[in-house]
Structure 1
Amino acid sequence: MDLPRSFTIRESGHRIHNPFTSEKLALLGRALSPAPGTRLLDLACGSGEMLCTWARDHGVTGTGVDISTVFLANARARAEELGVGDRVGFVHADASGHVADEPVGLAACVGATWIGGGVAGTVELLRRSLAPGGIMLVGEPFWRREPLDRATVEGCHATDKDDFLPLPELVEEFGRLGCDVVEMVLADQDSWDRYAAAQWLATRRWLDAHPDDELAEEMRADLAAAPARHVRHQREYLGWGVFALMNR
């Protein structure tokens, strides 16, 4: 049970595996200002940057769950680097079935709503771990502009235009799920650039170091196409944000 090696190669230069800068992650933490000791469950936590930095900056405690052994090793190393290894822990598991042993004040799935089969299922999953009055954090793409053709949809790694909603409709969807949106921090085009371009550099460095690897041809083809795909499609059409939700 793990992520494909091609994905972890592309993402090897990231601490945050979404188009979200460290500054925006810190802004979200300041906006929510969780009380010291607040427990955070982070499903599909990646390399654990949210949990580790919020433990350092806000005194939260908690658990991150992820399917990637590579990312979890990074998360544990990051926790030790920041001196919060005694306050946070990480579990190698399929996050789609994970529920906290005790209710938590913050339940998050930032950028991986596939674990619940989409936004609605992910909100229901997070609710199963949430304490009364707690906050859910959902990271999700949305259309900045309506895609006009199939090439744009596929260039944004979607199978259908309906995979994502425009921002107003996404916010309204949270309401239909019985949630109040109480905060949001959105990526911008520069955030997307930092996320995408770091993948290109990581891929190129890996190719230079592993020219004969069995994945080299696939990774070379991806690198050749990725920059143009980003500036033609993702950068212009796809937004992304983290939305803080409370049960009504």
Structure 2
Amino acid sequence: MNREQISAAAHARHPIAAPLDDASVRSLLDRAAPRGGRLLDLGCNTATWLIRALTDRPGLRGDGVDLDGGAIARGRAAVAAAGLSDRVDLHIQDAGAFTSPEPFDLVMSVGAAHAFGGLLPTLAAARGHLAPGGAVLVGDGFWEREPGRATLDAGFAADEYTDLATTVARVAADGWTPVHAHVSTRHEWDDYEWSWTGSLAQWGIDHPEDRDAALKAADEHRDAWLGGYRGTLGFVTFVLRQTP
């Protein structure tokens, strides 16, 4: 199994690829999404954010960008099933290279900052697509506490994130004003990680051809989470406006 196949199996029962429950997603969209206009999701995966944003907002149109062709194919099927094909366009390409002749009223990128090299580069990319008066919905990690050796051994670098206060200060210094934010709870984290590892393990059990690879990946991820970054890595999702 390659990385994309592992991710698809792991997110089968938790299509939001971040530690956010349905109520949090709904609340964030209520805060950020306009009733009409244009949305862009950079790193859209299977277009779940776009589908949820557009379902109750008939005046919205959306574009999603992701390099994973398999995820885009599944997203197009989900968009069609939701009856939104006439309002959503999905693009297979590098989100950092995407261009559009028109700006967007909301730019989203939740859990995809690695594709841009971090939170501030993600915001720089979003700024280039944003219409005057628009908003950005962005989610990324932060350190709940100083990472110890177990967290670093799980594959993280000490300077990969900062604490929440420093993260907010850096965002503000970059010209953004937080108008809302959600810090994922321990329950949201645990639900996400158990779903990730459990869904992947289920796939391995049910698909003998992928069994060894799937169970190995699930075990390694679970060990890194429980023995490494649980309680240390946090996740914050901001609704941002550009500071005048």
Question: Alignment partner for residue 165 of structure 2, among 144, 156, 168?
Answer: 168
Q: Does 1:201 align with 2:204?
A: no
Query: Identical aligned pairs, as a percentage?
Result: 28
Q: Distance in 1 between matches of 2:209 and 2:183?
A: 40
Residues 85-234 of structure 1 mapped to structure 2, 5 A cutoff: 85-149=85-149, 151-155=150-154, 157-158=155-156, 160-213=157-210, 216-234=211-229
In structure 1, what residue type is equivalent to 2:135?
Answer: I
> Alpha-carbon deviation of 1:212?
3.6
Q: Distance in 1 between matches of 2:99 and 2:20?
A: 26
Q: Distance in 2 between matches of 1:235 and 1:175?
A: 28
8 A contact 1:204–1:223 mirrored in 2: yes
8 A contact 1:3–1:68 mirrored in 2: no
Deviations 1:128-178 (A, max 9, x none): 1101111112110011111122x21242x42x1110111111000101111
Change (3 A) 1:129 1:175: same
> Alpha-carbon deviation of 1:220?
2.3
Q: Distance in 2 between matches of 1:13 and 1:121?
A: 30
Q: Distance in 2 between matches of 1:100 and 1:241?
A: 28
Question: Which deviates more, 36-45 or 52-61?
Answer: 52-61
Q: Distance in 2 between matches of 1:77 and 1:23?
A: 24
Change (3 A) 1:139 1:46: same
8 A contact 1:108–1:138 mirrored in 2: yes
- Identify the residue that residue 4 of structure 1 maps to in structure 2: 4
- Identify the residue that residue 40 of structure 1 maps to in structure 2: 39
In structure 1, what residue type is equivalent to 2:144?
Answer: R
User: Aligned to 1:135, what secondary structure does the other structure show?
Assistant: strand
Q: Distance in 1 between matches of 2:165 and 2:57?
A: 31
Structure 1: gaps (5+ residues): none
8 A contact 2:204–2:213 mirrored in 1: no
- Identify the residue that residue 242 of structure 2 maps to in structure 1: 247
Deviations 1:42-79 (A, max 9, x none): 00011111111110123321101111122222222222
8 A contact 1:142–1:238 mirrored in 2: yes
Change (3 A) 1:245 1:45: same
> Alpha-carbon deviation of 1:3?
5.3
In structure 1, what residue type is equivalent to 2:10?
Answer: R
Question: Alignment partner for residue 231 of structure 2, among 221, 236, 241?
Answer: 236
Change (3 A) 1:133 1:169: same
In structure 1, what residue type is equivalent to 2:43?
Answer: A
8 A contact 1:67–1:92 mirrored in 2: yes
Change (3 A) 1:227 1:3: closer
8 A contact 1:18–1:195 mirrored in 2: yes
User: Aligned to 2:230, what secondary structure does the other structure show?
Assistant: helix
Q: Give the TM-score of the pair, scaled to structure 2.
A: 0.91
Q: Distance in 2 between matches of 1:122 and 1:82?
A: 29
> Alpha-carbon deviation of 1:28?
0.4
Q: Give the TM-score of the pair, scaled to structure 1.
A: 0.89
Change (3 A) 1:170 1:22: same
